Structure formats: structure tokens, C-alpha cells
Structure 1
Amino acid sequence: MDLIDRLYQKINEDRWSQVVLLVSSYAQGHQLLERVCKRYGAIFNVNVQTLQGIVTDKVKLELFRRKISLLEEGEKFWVIRRLMKQLTVEEPAGYITESMLKPGIVNHVFRAISELRMAGIRSEDMTRESFMNSDKGEYLKHLLARYESYLHEHYRADFAGVIEYLNPVVENTVYLALNPTGWTYVESKMVQKLSGGRVVLLDLDSPFYVSEHFQDNQFTMFRATGSFAEIREGLRRILSEPESLDRTEIILSDYERYAPVVYSLTETLGIDCTLSNGLPLTFSVAGKVVMGMLDWLAEDFPVNKLAEMYRHGYLEFPDDRWSRAEWVQILEKSGIGWGKERYYTALSPEKLSEKLRDQGAILFTYINEWFKGLPDRNEWNPLFLLGWLSNFLQKYVPIRSQDDANVKSMLQEMANRCDASLSEPMSIDLAIRYVQEMISEVRINFSATPRPGAVHISSMQNGGWSGRNRTWIAGMDERAWSIPAVQDPLLLDTERHALSEHLEPAFERAKRVRSERESRLSQMKGELWLSYSSYDIGEQKNQSPAYEMLQVLRLQTGEMGLDFGDLEHLLGEPFGVIDVMHIVKQPVPLDGIDTWSRLLQDTNGKRRDGWRAMLQTYPDLAQGDQARKLRLEAELSAYDGWLDVDIFLNSNDSSEVLNKHFISASQLEKYASCGMYYYFYYVLKLQSKDIVKFDSTRWLQASERGSLLHDIFRRYMEEATNQGRKQADHNRERLFEITETVIKENATSIPVPNLHVFEKECEEVRRDVEIFYHHERLNVDQPCFFELDLTLANGEPMNVDLFGGMSIRLKGFVDRVDRIGPHEYRILDYKTGNTRKYKALEYFSGGTQLQHALYSVAVEQWLRKTGMDSEARVVEAVYYFPTERGRGESVKRVQDRREELAGIVAQLLESRDRGIYIPTKDSKLCEKCDYQAVCQSHPESMARKRKSPDNAHILSKLLEVEGIE
């Protein structure tokens, strides 16, 4: 007789008695009774109970009478941690110090106290001599005594303590349990007291390797390269018989590693399944938000975390006047991240544009609600944080699935179960770690018992009770299958033996678990699949099968002398994700991967031309391949930036076309530098997202630092010259007052990563300003215009007439204009870098330095047209480097090449409008380019095409400009 037969026999020995089946879980009990009913028919008067459940139910009335409340396990943890904290305060140099009160150590102590209690050990029973380390023994003795006093003083009882209030029940009830029960000493006494001695222990079946009937099963074994490939192969076999879904149980040797793989594949393939242990809460939207918000708190409130969750639809703001894209935009562009204070500062009305002001005000109310009541960084309470997270979920996370609803309710229940006063203030990092430990136990999408029509997925700890006639044990590698007899570092085996015979040593526990597992294997009837991953992809090392697989092979073949070499020979080649070794044996393709595997192999196992099949299946990929080929050819193509546009198709006059252009000097320089960049940025308008990013090593980016210095120089020079009306009256103190004001203004809008970085960069700015002051003090010319806007009164770009009758519409700003003589002017362009690229003999530098010449012509004509100076002549332009890097140097360009300027501009505009957008010839420019991922090594391959005579008629004018110094 097997276990089911014996169980049925005991249930029916006394038909009129109530039978209580004591099991480790309700799921185990219900599955056992289902198997009994399936074999023998209906049974009556049987009640499934766990020991904790029935004991708690029996003592509730007595506890109520005595006004004693039950201490839940979650509360018990925080009580013990609080007592540990008290001991560290009283004895700072004790066995466990305050710095050691981390979740891992507290968990060890919590388990040790719980084991001592369940073994019936009281503090007065403990002696220092029982421990290898007497300080540890004294610590645990004092802590247990404190815990006992806490229970007494607060009228609380933990589960070990309720035995005092458990009254013997005189009733006609028989208690059945499976042996080995795994009960502790206190639990055994509870059973005896509860049952009055009427408890029957049913032995499990004999281990599988000595079972009379185990070898009658139908065995299948295979291996795979990685857990993903292993699960794919098993599901492929299951799907070959779709009607077998609800007669299959998958037992995972390593549930935490394999369950996500199984779930993702079954969900993709549309296979209904039940998971006995469920999944981590991060498999739900609400769970992702919980973990995301914990990261947000831990990382000092970075706004990109919020934007990312909102972009994916995990978060929703109650006000629906703005779309998700608009909410993401304001989160990304406002620069509100990094520290509580910045959220308030950046969302103030004066910091937002008029367009964003209303939306910013609403966002401010939400954020104010989030921050309301949040403590300082060292005053956090994990239980308060748990409640904060629960409230956040209720208000800002939509329920899109039952899992989301479950996460919300479970988190709310956890928050309500524990009083925040049980925990003391701690750092935010430590509080977050505690909360992460707590929520790691939350599970979603679990179904402890199988469901008809669904594959049942269980763990090695609770699987094998369903009685299904196909059982697949996955992950039977040696590491996952082994049961390590690792001693508890806080209660070593020798210490357990010295303290009490009722404290189970680690090796005894491992022996009991292995014996129970081997007995449970023998209950499995029908088809038994065993598989393992022969290669760990994560750790990149081979794995061996469990010894039990070899035992099964020996039983199957009847040859007891087989070894692991024989087992590996029988298993053959491992299955892969893209499997070409077993393709002819696959009954049905599992998904597109299998379909491709079939396409790439013929019936003889020879490889087909996969590239051709890929290009025929995916037109976009074929177009990409065509682009690759054309880039390798000598002639220019559209994939090199040659669009072959005829700008003169509808016009007989080239000047008519060129005169219509509106362009800035920087655009024209960028086109000369890299036509492809120009095409992506100005034509296609493919711009990188304008997101404020946090860099812990710097405060200002290069462009931000340049803007700051420009602002300082402009404010000071306008004030020193009375808006350009007089010679500069220099005042160093006033200059540095303006500097500090501008720095302060920038610090409110640009995040400061830390004080050290901020002070370092501020000192650099002050040194730059010092150099600016030193050189300006020696300047004898008259600065008269600052940030000169080259536009008309109505804001339209001004028409600039170049040599030879050519005219362009130009728009831009000139940093500064100085009067250097009667009707003679100089324009200055502030540069915050160094002078390296502004060489003396490179006046136009291949068209990449046109600003000085274009702006000289434009300023001259602006002065005349506006009546500022009808005889004005801009005779020189200067690139001015008034910084530490530039050493205060100047690069002068005398304005005497205007005919050449007009020719260069005409040739560049004509090349642009003919559709020539080839990449740069200087590959160094690609290092910091936003479009590097698109171009890749294109500039290098273009070098050959630039020199090819076949492309001369296309590139001649552009190449001519590139050759001009």
C-alpha cells in the first residue's frame, strides 16, 4: 500500500469520528484528499489543518478572556530588533554593536530566538558555558530574557507561548499527520495536548531507489545549455500533446531562478499555468512602482526615475488635462531632480515658462504631498516608509490587473499589521533595506493547488503532492539539488547539542529533508521527466547532473554499475535555444525561433543559406543590407548623403534660389564641418532629448559654463560702459559681485551634485573672471554693443549683402562690438575653450570658421542701416579667450577677404541645396557626436569616395571649399 491507501484506511477506521489531517500547508492537505477521492470516491468528516492554524484558533477565546493579544511574526521581528537596539545603547561595545543592526544580522538573531522559544528553552536555562563564544551566549541570554519580559509586561504571547493557554480538548477527534512531521519540541507538545494522545503518524513511502513500483514509471531525461533552453524544450514536448496540460506538474529544483523563466515562456506561448509559490511582486506594475520609488528615495529623488515610470504607464497623475507625454516632458525638462529642495525651487512659477505654469502648479501639489511628513535622512522609520509606499500606490498607480490589486492590498495589510512605534529612527538607506527585505516575501499570481486545464508549477519543497501522471522535475543539476548542511553561525551544532536535545543540528535537518524528498519521489506515478542545465550562462561554467538522475538511470536499465559518463552519453547533445542538433526530432515548432531553426536546416541536417532567407523575410533588413553594399562601392549614393536634388529645375537663375536662404553662421559652419550632422539636425530635425542630467563629478556642462561666463561679461561691461555710451570704468569688486550673483542664480536652476564639486567649479569661474578683468583693464578701445541681435525691428532676419550682388538672410547674436577708431569697429566672440583650432593661417578653415567674416559684414550693414554710423566699417574680428584655459589670448582676423567669403557661402549653399550631405572628413568630430550610433565608421569609409574621380562632378565645389584655408 502506498501513502494514499494508508491515508484512506486510517480515515475510515472509525467512520463516526472527526478526522483532522495535520499538514505543513493547506495546499498539501487538499491535494492529498483530492487523490484519495479520485481513487476511492467521496470521504466525510475530514478537516485539513496546519498546526499553527488550529492551535491559534483553539486559544483565541482563552487569550481574549485573559486580555492577551497574539504577537504576529512580523511584529515579533521588530520587537526583537528594538530590544537589540536597547542592548547596544546600554552596552555600546557588546557582542552586537549598533553598526551591526543590519537586516541580515537581525534576521539571524530573530531566527535564533524563535528556535530557542520553539525548543522550550527559557533564558534561565541558558548558560555561558553552552556557547563557543561566551559573549555571544551572554548576549542571547540577556536578549531572550528581555523578550520574555516584553511579552509579560505588554500582555502579549507569541506562538511558542500560547501552549500555556491551550486547553486539552475532550472530543471524538482523530489527528493524522505525515512522518517525519518536522515539528519542534513545543509543536509536538501542542499536538499531544490538543489531541489528548489521539494522533496517528503515517510514514511516507520508502525512498524511490528501494521502492517496488517506482521503476515501473516511464522515464524521460534530457539536458540543455541554460535554464531558458531547458524550459523551452520541456514546453515544446508538452505542447506536442496539448490535451496533457492539466495532467502535468513541473517541479522546479531552484524555484526562484526558474519560475520567472517558466512564467515568461508560458505567458508568451499562451499556456495556462498555476504557480504554487507565485512570483516576486516586480512582475506586476504596482510592484515595479514600489521598487522604483524605493530607488527614487535611496538615490536622493532623481527625476528620471519618475519620468521613466510615468513613460511606461506605471504611474498616473489624477489630473487628466495633460497627456502622458506632456507629464513626462515637464518632468524631464524642469530639472526638478536631485534633492527635495530642488523640486520646490524648480517648480516655482518664475522658473517655468508661461506654457508650463499651470501644469507645474498641479505637479507641485502632488510632489508636496509626497514630501509631506518625510523625515530627514537619519530619522527614517521602515514601518512608516511601508505605510508611505502603500498610500502612494493607492493614489498614483492604476489597477490594470488582479496582481496590481493584490500588491496594493498586501502592502496595505503589511503596513496596518505593524505599529510604526515598534521601530526606532534610522538612516534612509537602512530603512529602505529593511523594507526591501519585507516586500521580498510578497508574492503575486500564486495558486497553491492545481487548476483544471492548467500546468501546475511547484517547488521542490512543496511539489509532488498533486498526483498528476506526468511530473517534470526541471533544474536537476548538482548544485540546485544538493541540500547543504550549513550550520547557523549564531547557533552552532555543538551549541545546539549543549543547550538542548530539542534543537535540531544542521546535518540532522539536511538528512531529514533529503529523506522526505526521496520518499516523495517514490509517490510520483506515470511519466517522470528529469532535466538539468549543463551550462550556467550567467557564471559561464559547466554543471553536472544530480546523483539522483544517475540512480534513476540505473533503476530504469537495471544496471547498477553505470556512472556519470554513461548518463551523459545517454543524454546526448544538450538542447539549445536555437537548436539545430535536434531539429528533425521536434514534433512541432514552439515559436519563431524553432521556425527559423527549421528554415536554416534541410532534411539531411545541412545548413541552408540563412542570409538569403533573412533578407526575403524582412524587407527593412534587406534595405539595410543594400545600404551597406552601396556604402562599400566607389560611387556616391543616398546612403552616403547624396540626395541628387536639382535646385535649378524650376528656375533659370541660380542667384534667385540662393537669395531665398535664411541661415545662421553656426548652421553654415556646421554644414561645412559635417553635412550629415547638418542633415540629421537641421533637415530631419532629429534632436536628442532635452533632459537635465545629473553628473556627480561636475556641476556645469561646457555649454552651461560658457553661458554663465557670457552672462557675467555682458552684465559687467554694460554697467561699466553705461550700456556702451562711455569708456569702461572698471571696478574689480563690482565685477566679482556680479560673478557671485550669476553663480547663485545658476545654482538654483542647475543641480549642484555636492559642495566640493560646486566650490571647485566656482573657483575656476572666479579665476576666469580675474583673467577677463586683467585684460579688459588694458583695453583702450570703446566697447559699445553687447549681445547684439542681428534682426530687424519686427524680429525678422536681416538681409546681408555679400560681394558680387549675392544676398542672404542672416540671423544671430554678436557677443560684443568695440569701436577702435573713427567709424572703425571690431567684433569680438567670447570663447571659453582654448585656441587650438583657431590657427593663424586658417582664415576660413575649410568653411568651418565663417562667423567672424559673416558677422563683420552683417554688423557693418546693421550699423549703417540703423543709422548708428552711416560710415561704419568693421575692419577686424577677434576670437577672444578670456579664461584660464585660453590664457586671455586673442586670435585676430582682418576683414579683407570678402570676395572670397561670398564665393565660399555660395558654394556651400549650392552644395547643400543639391542634396550633398556627406559626413565629415575629420573622424575626431564623431567622438562626441549625438549621431555616432547612426553613422558609426561612415566618415572613414567616405575618405576613399572623396578622392574618387567618379564623384568629382558632385563634390567638386564642396571639396574646393574644404581646401580653402
Structure 2
Amino acid sequence: MSLNWFSDLFEICNNDPFRKKILFVDHYDQGDQWLNQLTKEYGPLLGVETETLRSLIVKCTKLGLVQRGLRLLNSKQTFWVVQNLMIEMAERLNMYIQADMVTPGIVRSFHHAIEELRGAGVCASKLSITVFEYEQKGLYITELLSLYEQWLEQNHFSDFAGLLDYLPETAETNNHLFICKDMEHLSSVEQEMLKRIAGDRLIILPQTGSFLSSLQNKAPITVQLFQATGTLAEIREAFRRICNKEDSFDQAEVIVSNYENYSLAIFTLSQALEIPCTFSQGLPVIYSKVGQAALVYLEWLGCNYDVECILNALRHDILSFHHFGDNVDQTDLISTLEQSGIGWGRQRYSMLEVSSNTVLRGVNGESIGILSRIFKGVFQKLPDSRQEKWTPLVILHSLMDFLQKYAVPSSEADSLVKTELTAQIKMLELVSPRTLSSESALRYAIDMVEGVRILVGGPTSGKLHISSLHDGGISGRKQTYMLGMSNENWTLQVRQDPVLLDMERRNIEGLLLSAERTECIIRERETRLEMLSGAVTLSYSNYDPAEEKEIIPAFMLLQVARIITNDSQMDLTGLVRVLGKPFGYMSSGTNEEHLLDGGDRWLGRFHAEGRLQDGLYSLSQSFPFTAKLKQAEMQIREELLSEYEGIISTDTFTVSYLNNPEVYLSVTQLEKYAECPKRFFYSHILKVKDRGIAEYNRAQWLDAASRGSLLHRIFYLYLKEMSIEFTYEDRPKHNEQRLQEITEQVIREYEVKVPPPTPPIFHKECDSLQRDVSIFYQMEQKSQGRPRFFELELAIDGQPMSVRLDNGIVIRMKGFVDRVDEIGPHLYKIYDYKTGSPTKYDENEYFSQGRQLQHALYAVAVEQWLRETGQDVEARVIESAYYFPTERGKGDEVSRIQNKTSELAELVGYLLTSMESGTFVTTTDSKRCSYCDYGAVCNNDSECTKAKWNLAPNSLRLEHIKEVERFG
């Protein structure tokens, strides 16, 4: 610690105890820490207060401003004043900085330049354009400063520099004593303000020295050095050392050179280890739930309302919609939104308002209603993207409304974020920002939200304190850790101001050059670090895993090593020896070392005498499932198919479809079992399904399912209308114009339900649909039958049908038949519309090994339905057809004469018996695995099953499923 400076300060304050002393500080936390150290080292003090110069000036001028009807603007507000003026200049003059260049970064640079000029006491009338490198630039800055001054005067505002005019020329006649460390960091206007307030009662108490000089002077400091193999490894080692000490956390301070990177990693680790911390510069807003929700909302706006942004937030509990419907679970709302097919685009959210939306058919209607109301309310708070009514204020208002309704607060930090955003709104309301394009307004809003910091605080009892290289080292704690002492982080780069260059600053009185500004920062840092005492640990990360490069240590680290080893000639090689072996992420395994978490403890089990040991025994003791994994691997290697490959004990899974009136099957389920028994087991026995997320293609209007539904709707409406007036002896009279009218009508319906991404895509797909309809019309003109039933449900009295096969098997069936035509007296043909390709429907395959049963089973079921319902007691279904009335289907029709009912009964019997015996092995045809939803679960099971398919031990269990292969 800088004993001389603190002792001098104490002496000044103690010599006149009853006189009020004002100690100027950069921020109030700094003042609190100074006074804590003073009283701890020297005893109590009377009459000492800390103030920042800005706060004291505001107090002194507050009454004068009120009397004159003026209001004070802070720096955040004057930023918007400058922004408004720059946009106005761009629109009016179109000079130097054009409208599309007025971005947050550009405005920030010019705002800083205006503040510097005001702080130097420079006004527009005295600023000559000749001091600038380019005349156009000089004209622009002079005009901007002039407009800024006029705006303040016309609107009765003042900025901080303008408060000088409301201070008396001489100090007030009070007896206060003012103490300041130095004045070099103050602007010209601030120095004049200080003189007017303090007068001859101002004491400048400079602080000299540095951390290195305190080491050379044998100050009461013990120093340790170490290096680590990465940022996280370095932080973990520092935490191990802190936890290994007997002192409490409030006796340690961690100073990090790269605050953004290190503080986030420290926060994450401290949360996992439940180590309480304070952060001098706080944390980004994203480390609060409400902050995450705010950024999600802004990202949603910026991504053209991409529904995936909202979905991700709902899945991670950042947002919540569940309280808008007590009977609907959050997961139901997520599932509905996933299946909505909205994708992106504001207009496509209208899909939620259409109750007959084919994409959401079968989804919980209440979920759709809730989501529709939610998004309708959200959009009401926003102007249309085509309107020029966007401002950051409008976005922040809509953001706050969104957060109040849908954010999930969970901590004090969440309340702080809302409070800060509310303050931002009030600040913007005062300066009235101009309207912008939606993209520009959003850019400013994101910048404002990302600028919010949470959990900002000074040292607190019981908590580890994390500070930065710009403000750390003044807590007076016994342990100090300086992390990240790399050359890149520690060295300050001399950078010129992007607006006011050094060559221009030389001609403007009161402005510091870039080198002078850097020197001030370095001096302040050196004198502040001189206050360190007790145990000081310095470290750096010698490797960057992300960039895969080595990192050079800071020169100061080498200087410290030279002092503590008394080797003034030490080079970097010697420094590496002093730093010792780099610490990694895991514990080094020594007995004296503190183990942070489970990772360190597990390493202790696996590490002995510098070598990693076989940890399988330890794993099996702690995690019993590892033994089951080993058992599974052994059984899979044997010849006999086991439960791990789909041979299931019927005691565990009872499957009963044969002659069972309690359950029903669809034809699709039977076909799926024939295609791959294990896939059937996952989907229909375990009921493990994918999340049903509708994939949205920006280059596509309708997905395959929606397109098929649209065509089915056209075919249904047209044929029903054409067939309604004719008896079975007549064929329908076709009307191409009416078909086109119905087509246009249905397309308009779907356009409302599913808004297209762009007009060109919509017109392209409409043309394709028209071609499909034209092919359908040509096929129907050749048709010999009369359509009688459409979308025929296989049900009697609202219950699934019990269908009897030739061998006496009775199965309850569920499904819809697209169309049934009467082709003669009591003779019928059924059609199943297909909008895909007819490639897999081989003319020479009737059942395709059980994968094509629909034509045959529907024929039996429809025939029984017609007879049992009395529609036609003599009905016979003699033919079934897969109908391809589209451009992709090439107008094909694949027909099957229905004369194999006995073979059908035999095949279905084998399938059902195989199911009930618990045979759910993977298909041996690996080609079917390429489009399976469960490929990640099965891995290479198809190859394993194929290798064991014909082995003798498995013949009995596979006999029924093997019989299915006979039915081509």
C-alpha cells in the first residue's frame, strides 16, 4: 500500500476534524474503498465526504438551472441530440457524413468529439476550419457544434460543460476543504469548475510511485507467479489458491486485464462452485433472464420475425406463454409453434389465426388460439415494417411491453434490467429521437440494450471481488490475484481519436494528444497498483486454444520476476523457469491442492504417480449403468439375437392386435412394421416420435403435405360437384372452366392460411399447381366410372371398423379412403391419390413384402362397409388404384385387381403374429435406413441383424417375419 499517500491524506483530514472535507474521487466505489483503508490503517475520521466532480457541480448549479427554466442532459441524452442533428444535416446538406453513414459507431465518435470540444471550452464561433486536415470535415464539425449549441439554447437545456456558466467566478464563502489527487485527467472546463468551487481551499495531493517501485523498496508484499494453458485453466488455478487459504472470500480481490473475457468465465465458474462474487464493472445484460429475453426479442425483429428465435427462448425457459392459458402446457404451445410452418416473415403469423390451417390440423385448438392472441398483441405494438415510423423509442416501448408479459424473471438482476430499460425510455422521451428505417432504429435499440450492465458493485463483506485493470487494486484486501498478464492485454496501444486527429488537436487549446492521454492512463494505473499489499499473485495464460497460438507474457511480469529473484538480466527463458510448469484445466493431483469440483476429484481417482490409470472400475462403482453397457456389448457380439437388437419379452411389452376389439390398426402401421419392425416399435409401441417441427423453406410456399392437401381439396370439390346430379349409368360431364374456378378459389384459401414468402415464389408454384390440375382433368376425361364417395371414413357408428379377413382374422381398422368409384352395377373401384412419384409402385409387385397393403385391405374394408351400412348389400370392390394426377406423377395410374384376398389374410396373419411374439428387429435392407427418423438410435443395427438373419439360433424367432418376404 502507498503508505505515504494515505498517511498524508489522514494527516490532512485529522488535523482539522471539525471542518468539512470533500475528497474528490472518480466514482463513489473508489471513495468508499479509500475511506475503508484509511480508517482501517489509521483510525476513525470526522467530516470527510467523497464526491465526484460531476456530482458536486450538479448540486451547486441545480438551483440556478431551475430558476432559469433549464434542464440538464447527461451524456446518454446528448448522444441522441447529436444523432438527431447528424441525420438532419445529412438530409438537408448531404455533406461529409451521409444518411446511411449515421450509424451508432459513427455517432458515438462525433458525440465524443463534441463533448471534448465542449470540455475544452471551445465554441463553434471560435473554432476555425483551418485547424482541420480537410476543409469539408472542418465545415461539418463546426456546423454540427453550432447546431448543437443552438439546440441546447432553443430547447432550454444544458450539458455538463455548459454548467460552467452558472457557477460564480469566485468560490462561495464556505469553509470546506477540497482534496484532489491530481487534475491532469480533468478537462479545461472541469479544472475551471474545480477552481471556482474550491478557490484557495483546494489541496492537490499527488500520488507517485508504482507497483514495481514498491517491490524494490521492500514493501510488505509477497509475490507468487504462475502460468496456465488457457484462460479457464488460469481462473481455476486462481480459485484453487483462493479456496486453499484460511482467509474468507472477502479478503481476496481478482484483477483481470481483459475484463470482458475473464469476468464472464469467472462468473460462470463462481456460479457452479457457489462462490459469491462482486464485479466492479458488472456483467453483460445477457447474464440475466430478462436481458436474454430482451435480446431474443430484438434478434426476432432483426431476423424478419424468424419463429425459431422465439422457439429457442421458449425451450430454454427464457420466455413463457403458459400463463395465457391455464389448461395448456408450455410444451403444447412450443409443439404447436414448431408445427406451424411459419418460418419467418410478419405476414405468415396470420397462419395462427386460421382455424382450418392444414399445417396445424389435429393440433390443440386452444394452443393455436393462445398463440394467435399473443402474436397479434405483440404486432400491435410495432409499426408495419413498410412504414417509416420506426424509432429506438418505439422499439423500446414494444420491448418493455413484451418483457412485462412474457419474460421469466428469476433474480434481482432481472429487476435491474427492467429499471434500466425504463430509464432509457424516459431519457429518449426527453430528446425525441427522429424516425429511422426499421433496420437503423433496431441497430440503435440493440446497442442500448447491450450497453446495460448488471450486478455492478464494489467490494462487499463475504464476497470475492472481481475488478479490472482500470479500477482494481484499491480494496486493501490481503490477497490480490492479477490474471491475464499477457503482452496483448497489458500493453496500451496509442490510438488516435477517429474524429479529432493529433495534428488537429495541436491547434485546439485544451485537447490532449493520443500519446498524452495514454500516458495519463498508464500513470494512473501504476500509482493505483502501488496500493497493493499482502500476498500478490501474478499469472498469465501462455496458450490460446481457440486461435491455437502461444501468448507472450507482459513485460511487467518479467520485471517482477527480475526483482523477486534479484536477477536484472533475466530474459523470457528465465521467466518461464520462474513461472514453473503450466497449470491445466484439471488439478495437478497433489495432496495439498484444493479440489474445486467433480472434475478435479475424478482426476484424483484416475491419476497416480504422474500417469493416468484405468478408471473403469471407479466408473462402474459410481455409475451402475456402465456395467449394463458392457453386458449389452457382450450380448450383441453373440450369435443369438437379444433384447438389445429388438427381440422383446412379451411379458414386458404386451402387443395384441389379433381378434382384439380393444385396439385398432391403420394400414400405414402394418406397412411400417413390414418395412422395419424396429421403427414400428419405436414409433407405435414406445410412441417415441420426433418433435414434428415443420421445416420452413424460404424458397418454397407449400411443403409436400400442404401441397397434397390443396390438390386433394380441389379434386374433392370438383368431382363432388360434377357427380351430384348423375345416376350410376351416366358418367359426369366435366367442365374445365369450373375446375379452374375451384382451383383459384382453393389457392386463395391457402394463400390466406399460408402466406407465401415472396410473390415470385407464389406465382411459380401456382403455375405448377395449374399444370397438375390440367393433368388431373385429362385423366378424369378418360375415367369410366362414376365417383360415389369421397374421403370415406372406415367407421361404423363413429367407431373403427372390425374387418374380417378370409382366414377368420378380425382387426379393427382406422383410416380414410380418398375416393370410391362405381364402375358398374354393384362393382366398385377405389382410388388413393398420390402427389409424389410412382417409382416405388412396381407393376410386378402386388404386396411388396408387406409394404403395400393399402390397396388390398382398403378393398376388403370398403366392400364390407358398403354392405354393412346398407349402401349396397351386393357390393364388390374389384379393383384398387394408386392415382398420380400430377406433373411429378406423370399422370400414371397403378392398378391392382383385387383377387388375392386369401394371400392378404395369410400375410396379415404373419405380420400380426410376428408383432405379438415380440419380434422388432431392424430391417436387413440398409437402404431403408437412409430416410429413417430413428437412424441416430439404431446406428448400424441393420448390418448386425443382416449378419444374424440366417443363423440357426434365430430361425424360430424370425420365422413369421421371414414368411412375409414371400409376398412380392
2:292 to 280, 284, 288: 288
Say which of 26, 31, 34 aligns to 1:32.
34
Residue of structure 2 equivalent to 1:219: 223
Secondary structure in 1 aligned to 2:254? strand
Instruction: Report the counterpart of residue 475 of structure 2 in structure 1.
Output: 466
Per-residue displacement from partner, 1:673-722 (whole Å, max 9, x unpaired)? 11122111111112233455543232222222222211211211111222
What's the counterpart of residue 602 of structure 2?
Answer: 596
8 Å contact kept, 1:346–1:748: no
Matched, 1:184 2:196: no
Deviations 1:765-820, CA, capped at 9 Å, x for gaps? 2221111112222223333332222222x122223332333333222222222333
Query: In the superposition, relative to structure 1, how do residues 928 and 752 fare at CA in structure 2: closer, same or farther (>3 Å)?
Result: farther
Matched, 1:278 2:279: no
TM-score of the superposition, structure 1-length normalised? 0.93
Indicate conservation of the 8 Å contact 2:772/2:886, yes or no: yes
Shift of 1:864: 3.4
Whether 1:759 aligns to 2:763 is yes
Give the SS at the match of 2:852: coil
In the TM superposition, residue 172 of structure 1 has moved relative to its aligned partner by 2.3
Aligned 8 A contact 1:721 1:728 in 2: yes
Segment drifting more, 212-221 vs 636-645: 212-221
Q: Deviations over 1:571-620 (max 9, x none)?
A: 233222234xx212552211111111101112x22322123322332223
Instruction: Return the alpha-carbon distance in structure 1 between the equivalents of residues 633 and 889 of structure 2.
Output: 43
Q: CA, structure 1 residues 782+394, in 2 after alignment: closer, same or farther (shift >3 Å)? A: closer
Partner Cα separation in structure 2 for residue 738 and residue 936 of structure 1: 48
Q: Secondary structure at the match of 1:803?
A: coil
Partner of 2:936: 933
Query: Among residues 427, 446, 457, which one is paired with 2:456 in the alignment?
Result: 446
1:791 counterpart = 2:795: yes
**Partner of 1:126 in structure 2?**
127
- 2:120–2:189 contact (8 Å) kept in structure 1: yes
Q: Distance in 1 between matches of 2:372 and 2:785?
A: 50
Q: Distance in 2 between matches of 1:186 and 1:892?
A: 94
- Check conservation: 2:772, 2:885, Cα contact below 8 A: yes
Q: CA deviation at 1:960?
A: 2.9
Measure the CA separation in 2 of the matches of 1:394 and 1:534: 46
CA contact (8 A) 1:403 1:445 kept: yes
- 1:81: how far off? 0.8
Q: How far apart are residue 621 of structure 1 and its match? A: 4.0
Provide the C-alpha distance between the structure 1 equivalents of 2:481 and 2:234, rounded to a whole number of angstroms.
11
**Structure-1 residue corresponding to 2:809:** 806
- 3-state DSSP class of the match of 2:807? helix
1:918-958 Cα shifts (integer Å, max 9, x gaps): 12333343344332332233223332122433322211221
1 CA distance for matches of 2:612 and 2:366?
63
1:761-840 map, 5 Å: 761-792=765-796, 794-840=797-843
Question: How do 1:262-661 residues align onto structure 2 when only pairs under 5 Å count?
Answer: 262-306=266-310, 308-310=312-314, 312=317, 314-315=319-320, 321-322=326-327, 324-325=329-330, 328=334, 338-341=344-347, 343=349, 346-347=352-353, 367-377=375-385, 378-397=388-407, 399-419=409-429, 422-448=432-458, 450-498=459-507, 500-579=508-587, 582-584=588-590, 587-602=593-608, 604-645=609-650
Shift of the 808–391 alpha-carbon distance from structure 1 to 2, 3 Å rule, reads closer
Is this contact kept in 1: 2:666–2:815, CA < 8 A?
Answer: yes
Q: CA separation of 1:111/1:761 partners in 2, compared to 1, >3 Å: closer, same or farther?
A: same
Deviations 1:451-510 (A, max 9, x none): 122111111111111111211011222222221212222222222223x24222222222
Q: Tell whether the 8 Å contact from 2:855 to 2:881 is kept in structure 1 after alignment.
A: yes
Q: Is contact 1:119–1:184 with CA below 8 Å preserved after alignment? A: yes
Amino acid at match of 1:730: H
| CA deviation map 1:533-570 (0-9, x unaligned) | 22223333332221111111111101011122222233
Pairwise CA distance, 1:42? 0.8
Is the contact made by 1:724 and 1:783 (CA closer than 8 Å) also made in structure 2? no
Tell me the TM-score normalized by structure 2: 0.93
Task: Provide the C-alpha distance between the structure 2 equivalents of 1:851 and 1:573, rounded to a whole number of angstroms.
Answer: 72
Q: For residues 628 and 439 of structure 2, what CA distance do their matches in structure 1 show?
A: 51
Between the aligned partners of 2:278 and 2:640, the Cα distance in structure 1 is 61
Offset, 1:833: 1.1
For the structure 1 residues 269 and 847, does the alpha-carbon distance in structure 2 shift closer, same or farther, using more than 3 Å as the test?
same
SS in 1 for 2:552: coil
CA distance in 1, matches of 2:441, 2:653: 71
CA distance in 2, matches of 1:839, 1:723: 37
Q: Distance in 2 between matches of 1:795 and 1:742?
A: 29
Greater mean deviation of Cα atoms: 300-309 or 704-713: 300-309
Indicate how the Cα distance of structure 1 residues 761 and 936 shifts in structure 2: closer, same or farther if over 3 A, else same: farther
Deviation by residue 1:1-21 (Cα, 9 ceiling, x = unmatched): 532123223334544543221
Q: What SS does the aligned partner of 1:379 have?
A: coil
1:4 aligns with 2:9: no
Flag the 1:689–1:847 CA change in 2: closer, same or farther, 3 A: same
Q: Is the 1:824–1:875 contact (alpha carbons within 8 Å) kept by the matching residues of 2?
A: yes
Is the CA contact (8 Å cut-off) linking 2:133 and 2:504 kept in structure 1?
Answer: yes
TM-aligned CA distance change 1:492 to 1:942, over 3 Å: farther
Q: Is the 8 Å Cα contact of residues 659 and 806 (structure 1) preserved in structure 2?
A: no
Q: Alignment identity in percent?
A: 38
Deviations 1:354-387 (A, max 9, x none): 9966776666655554333421223211023223
Tell whether 2:209 aligns with 1:206.
yes
Distance in 2 of aligned mates of 1:671 and 1:686? 15
Contact 2:242 2:249 (8 Å CA) reproduced = yes
- The CA deviation string for residues 274-318 of structure 1, in whole angstroms up to 9 with x for no partner, is 211121222222212211222233334445544554551643666
Q: How many residues align?
A: 955
CA distance in 2, matches of 1:186, 1:611: 72
Question: Taking structure 1 as reference, are residues 425 and 621 closer, same or farther at Cα in structure 2, changes over 3 Å only?
Answer: farther
In structure 2, C-alpha distance between the alignment counterparts of 1:49 and 1:181, rounded to whole Å: 18
Give 1:451's aligned amino acid. Answer: T
Q: Secondary structure at the match of 1:221?
A: strand
Please give the secondary structure, in 2, of the residue aligned with 1:471: strand
Q: Which stretches in structure 2 are left out of the alignment for 5+ residues?
A: none
Report the CA distance between 1:332 and its aligned residue.
Answer: 5.2
Residue 876 of structure 1: aligned partner: 879
> Could you say which residue in structure 2 is the equivalent of 1:667?
669
Where does residue 888 of structure 1 map in the other structure? 891
Aligned pair in 2 of structure 1 residues 129, 784: CA closer, same or farther (>3 Å)?
same
- Change over 3 Å in CA distance of 1:329–1:804 after alignment to 2: closer
Q: For 1:140-187, what per-residue CA distance to the aligned partner results, in whole angstroms no more than 9, with x for missing partners?
A: 111111111111222211111111111232332332222364111211
CA 1:357–1:906 in 2, change beyond 3 Å: closer, same or farther?
Answer: closer
Distance 1:308 1:647 in 2: 37
* Structure 1 residue 834 displacement after superposition: 0.9
Q: Does the aligned pair in 2 maintain the 1:273–1:457 contact within 8 Å?
A: yes
Change (3 A) 1:345 1:860: closer
Contact 2:305 2:345 in 1 (8 A): yes
State which of 174, 178, 191 in structure 2 corresponds to 1:175: 178
Counterpart of 1:281, as a letter, is V
Give the aligned residue type for 1:408.
K
For the residues of structure 2 that align with 1:64 and 1:2, how far apart are their CA atoms? 44
* Alignment check: 8 A CA contact 1:251 1:473 kept: yes
Post-superposition shift, 1:898?
A: 2.7
| Conserved 8 A contact 1:723-1:784 | no
Q: Which amino acid aligns with 1:616?
A: Q
